[in-house]
Amino acid sequence: MSALTIAQKVCTEHLARTAYLYVRQSTLRQVQNNTESTERQYALRQRAMQLGWSSEQIVVIDTDQGQSGASSVDREGFQRLVADVGLGKAGIVLGLEVSRLARNNADWHRLLEICALSRTLICDEDGLYDPADFNDRLLLGLKGTMSEAELHFIRARLQGGILSKARRGELPMPLPVGLVMDPAGKVVLDPDAGVQRALAHLFDTFHRTGSARAVVQTFNRDGLLFPARIRCGERKGEIIWAPLTHWRVLRTLHNPRYAGAFAYGQRRTRKTPEGKTTTRAVPREEWTLIPDAHPGYLTFEQYEQNLRTLQTNATAHGTDRTSGPAREGTALLQGLAICGRCGHRMTVRYHTRKGAHVPDYQCVRENIQTAREKCQVIPGAGVDAAISQLLLDTVTPLALEVALNVQAELETRADDADKLRRSHVERARQRTELARRRYLAVDPDNRLVADTLEADWNDALRGLQAAQDEYERQTAAAKATLTEHHKQRIRQLASDFPALWNDPVTPSRERKRIARLLIEDVTLTNTDQVHLDVRFRGGQTTSLTIPKALNSWQARQTPTEILAQLDRLLDDHTDRETAEQLNRLGRRSGMRRPFTPAIIIKLRTTHNLPSHRERLLARGMLSQQEIAQRLGVHPNTIHAWRRAGFLTAHPANDKNDYLYEPPTPNDPRLVKRRGWRHSDREPAPPTQGGAI
Ligand SMILES: [Zn+2]
């Protein structure tokens, strides 16, 4: 740079202000090892003095030593520099490779802008810049971009190296307990048989129970411990034995290394705007996953099956097609019912009918999401009854086989647990032996050491005694569960399945759990009948059809066979008579009450059944008026003739109304009456009258 340019850039205004020398090193290691760079930075001081600043005017900012330049947060020195530049205190800012003053591009541009506004110069080993000048600013901006790009390439190269190593499965990663690195650098199963057995027992128990909680319960009930590796501190790498916890089971089940797969990139860390580091889990599809990279405790298929089981166990609110664990409530298919119309999982709604909780299976998802009508609601009682019957039919022939399998299962489980417990005792014995040998090896005159070792030995002996006692106690407990009496009971339980199922004392929850063990899901479709498509756990399917279920108001309706009976009775009886007849036959209304004329009237109007009167009219009966007209007599005469038995009449209702059979010509009773008319002072029936 020519003297002229420098002279043009540095003016008295700049010289009147302070010169800031910003010294920084990225990491502590650079601070310690790369002293040369620090010297170069201090050499810039000479340069400031050459440019015209006096040594008192030069402020050195080096408080950021040992901090990375990637973000200005937490870099007090840089913040102070920006503040002072902004206040117009700085005439010049000097730094080594000044574009790296702030590696983060946003910080860099902000500083440039502030320098331009406050007319502050910038100087590094390459030259002197005036950010207010367009060309200089362009150059500085480019330098900043270059610096950022360089950082990016370094990171990409490092990351790429790690990834390609990971893809080859050669990236050394901390191994979970149960897996160790052999001297040749290959991953193998931990040679400690106790550790191996504990892991195998965990996976077996999960496979059998399908629940992480049940695994913890089993281990704790049987008094089994689980190994864990100390991750830091002076005992790093050592195995300790502790009671099993739920999170440890989950972590073990989720770790693909146990399935012999190499996994990398399960978590990703990133910086927040505040400069904090956050870690988040990465979806499994994005991991670098190499199956069959080393020996494991289970196959990759088993590993994936375990994850699926865990997934279904999660209650997972709002997630469709996850059934969730069995809850209280009577609905047998809670979480198992699927809508046959739209394929969504159906929910259960209970309502009270005559003091009992009655379930409905309803598909409301669409209805909630789009405020449309409910997709379908199926009364649950009929469905549950059909499923119960199906299970009873399905389970009985298998009863003996199930019983035998359960028994064998229990025996192997007891064996496994016994081996594990024995290995605990074995470990305690080894520790004792070691302590004993150490004690014997020490010079007895060295009292201090000898005392400590003696105490160790005593501790180990006590541990051994405790382990042995525990072993005997647990073994006795395990043996006690498998007496002949128990075997007998297991056999009986299996054959008593129908009794157990139907026993009102059996909680709904247990019944549902049994249903879940056997049934995967049931698709319900409501058409003119209810169709049940049942999918069993094994993949077997079966279909059932039950009559269309009645909803609550339909169930309160008078049954159709009673309606038919009522219809028949109305042919010959009035409402009151019909009611009496039905009550005599022991019939009850839909509301379980005796019939009354009012109920009969209501029923026939609701079901459009003609009244008794209408039926008589339809059969050609005549009203009092009509017959009077036809016979040519006054209606009162008809009344009298009926009472006298000259006319055949039927009661039309319960109000003393009658309908008359049409008179036949030559009816002896009426023929006789013809002469009777004068004494009766009534006109005689006209001889030419239609019917006569
Ligand atoms: Zn639906």
Torsion sign (Cα): 338, 342, 344, 350: negative
Q: Which of 139-148, 394-403, 571-580 has the lowest mean pLDDT?
A: 394-403
User: What whole-number percentage of the chain has pLDDT above 90?
Assistant: 7
CA of 515 to the centre of ligand 1 (A): 22
CA of 375 to the centre of ligand 1 (A): 4
CB 114 within 8 A of CB 85: yes
Q: What is the pLDDT of residues 612-628, one digit of tens each?
A: 999 999 988 888 888 88
CA of 336 to the centre of ligand 1 (A): 14
Q: Which of 28-42, 166-180, 213-227, 673-687 has the lowest mean pLDDT?
A: 673-687
Gap between the Cα atoms of 128 and 681, Å rounded: 146
Residue type, 545: T
Q: Is the pLDDT of residue 3 over 80?
A: no
| Residue numbers annotated as active site | 26
Q: Which of 198-212, 223-237, 380-394, 499-513 has the lowest mean pLDDT?
A: 499-513
Nearest alpha carbon to residue 475 among 408, 429, 419, 412:
419
pLDDT score at 24:
64
Scored b (16 or more CB within 10 A) or e, 517-526 reads ebbbbbbbbb
Average of per-residue pLDDT across 388-415: 68
Banded pLDDT at 203 (limits 50, 70, 90): very high
Question: Percentages helix, strand, coil for the chain, rounded to the nearest 5?
Answer: 50, 15, 35
CA of 362 to the centre of ligand 1 (A): 8
Average of per-residue pLDDT across 411-434: 83
Scored b (16 or more CB within 10 A) or e, 268-299 reads eeeeeeeeeeeeeeeeeeebbbbeebbebbbe
CA of 314 to the centre of ligand 1 (A): 23
pLDDT score at 688:
45
CB 624 within 8 A of CB 639: yes
Other Cβ atoms less than 10 A from the Cβ of 6: the count is 16
Q: What is the pLDDT of residues 121-177, one digit of tens each?
A: 888 777 888 888 888 878 877 777 777 777 788 878 777 777 777 766 677 788 899
Q: Is the pLDDT of residue 677 over 60?
A: no
Q: Is the pLDDT of residue 587 over 90?
A: no
Mean of the per-residue pLDDT values for the chain? 78
Scored b (16 or more CB within 10 A) or e, 676-688 reads eeeeeebebbeee
pLDDT score at 198:
93
pLDDT score at 266:
80
CA of 341 to the centre of ligand 1 (A): 5
Banded pLDDT at 258 (limits 50, 70, 90): very high
Q: Is the pLDDT of residue 586 over 90?
A: no
Q: Is the pLDDT of residue 690 over 50?
A: no
Of residues 361 and 265, the one with the higher pLDDT is 361
Banded pLDDT at 252 (limits 50, 70, 90): very high
Q: Is the pLDDT of residue 491 over 50?
A: yes
CB 275 within 8 A of CB 264: no
Residue type, 190: D
CA of 363 to the centre of ligand 1 (A): 5
The radius of gyration of the chain from alpha carbons, rounded to an integer in Å, stands at 48
CA of 526 to the centre of ligand 1 (A): 10
Average of per-residue pLDDT across 21-36: 61
Q: Is the pLDDT of residue 217 over 60?
A: yes
Average of per-residue pLDDT across 651-670: 81
**SS3 labels along 83-105:** HHHHCCCEEEEEECCHHHCCCCH
Average of per-residue pLDDT across 323-327: 57
Q: Is the pLDDT of residue 202 over 90?
A: yes
Gap between the Cα atoms of 421 and 251, Å rounded: 23
Average of per-residue pLDDT across 303-313: 83
pLDDT score at 116:
84
Q: Is the pLDDT of residue 631 over 80?
A: yes
Q: What is the pLDDT of residues 66-122, one digit of tens each?
A: 555 445 555 677 778 888 888 888 899 888 766 555 455 567 677 778 888 888 888
CB 190 within 8 A of CB 258: no
Is pTM beyond 0.75? Reply is no
CA distances from 632 to 244, 617, 629, 677, 682 (A): 107, 20, 5, 11, 9
CA of 531 to the centre of ligand 1 (A): 14
Average of per-residue pLDDT across 359-385: 76
pLDDT score at 2:
44
CA of 408 to the centre of ligand 1 (A): 43
CB 425 within 8 A of CB 193: no
